[in-house]
């Protein structure tokens, strides 16, 4: 289907698309689960299009909860899958992190982003977002944006086309020998 972007938020790695020219199609949305009820060890299914292979499904378990990953800064090619950039130690750039991330060992590879992470009842507990890998390939640690974040951000993206995150304007860095 062709679609247009209604709203996006790079700081939560979410976007809302509206399908165009939908004729006589019955689409069934997947139900969102309460991601706060997810437990470590729970079996999950990741659906996506890794390496352009459409409709792929992998399974695994929830291997961690409450993770924090850096969000992709707008205009920057770097994201959670990229090595950290070299920042000026005297003028660090503001960075944001996505909180309460769900960690899974279900295989998530490039192309899985945006696909659902489902519980065994077929409910969405998250949206596949990133992997932790030094090679760019699956190495057993994938991450999903939780349904609780989807429930909070998506309605605002639909109505206002962007999401304003609270930010006090202060960021911290570790004090090393160069800074001291």
Q: Give tens-digit pLDDT for 92-147.
A: 454 667 788 899 999 888 888 889 999 999 999 999 987 776 666 666 788 999 99
**For the purposes of burial, counting CB atoms within 10 Å of the CB of 176, is it exposed (0-12), middle (13-18) or buried (19 or more)?**
exposed
pLDDT digits (tens, 9 = 90+) for 65-99: 988 877 655 544 333 333 333 333 334 454 667 78
End-to-end CA distance of the chain: 55
CA distance 82 to 104: 19
- Mean pLDDT for 167-179 is 80
- Mean pLDDT to the nearest integer, 19-39: 87
Phi, psi of 126 (to 5 degrees): -175, 175
Give me the residues paired with residue 17 across strands.
5
- What average pLDDT does the segment 31-40 reach? 91
Average pLDDT, the chain: 81
Least Cα distance to 110 among 126, 133, 87, 92 occurs for: 133
């Amino acid at each position: 289907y062709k679609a247009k972007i209604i709203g996006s938020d790079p700081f939560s790695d979410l976007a809302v698309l509206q399908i165009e020219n939908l004729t006589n199609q019955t689409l069934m949305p997947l139900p969102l689960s309460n991601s706060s009820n997810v437990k470590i060890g729970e079996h999950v299914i990741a659906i996506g299009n890794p390496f352009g292979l459409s409709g792929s499904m992998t399974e695994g378990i929830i291997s961690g909860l409450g993770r924090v990953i850096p969000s992709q800064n707008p205009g920057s090619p770097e994201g959670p899958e990229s090595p950290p950039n070299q920042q000026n130690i005297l003028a660090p750039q503001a960075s944001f992190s996505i909180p309460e991330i769900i960690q899974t060992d279900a295989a998530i590879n490039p192309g899985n982003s945006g696909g659902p992470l489902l519980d065994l009842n077929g409910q969405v507990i998250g949206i596949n977002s990133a992997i932790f890998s030094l090679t760019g390939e699956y190495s057993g640690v994938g991450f999903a944006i939780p349904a609780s974040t989807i429930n909070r951000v998506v309605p605002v993206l639909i109505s206002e086309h962007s999401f304003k995150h609270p930010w006090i304007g202060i960021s911290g860095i570790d004090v090393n020998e160069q800074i001291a």
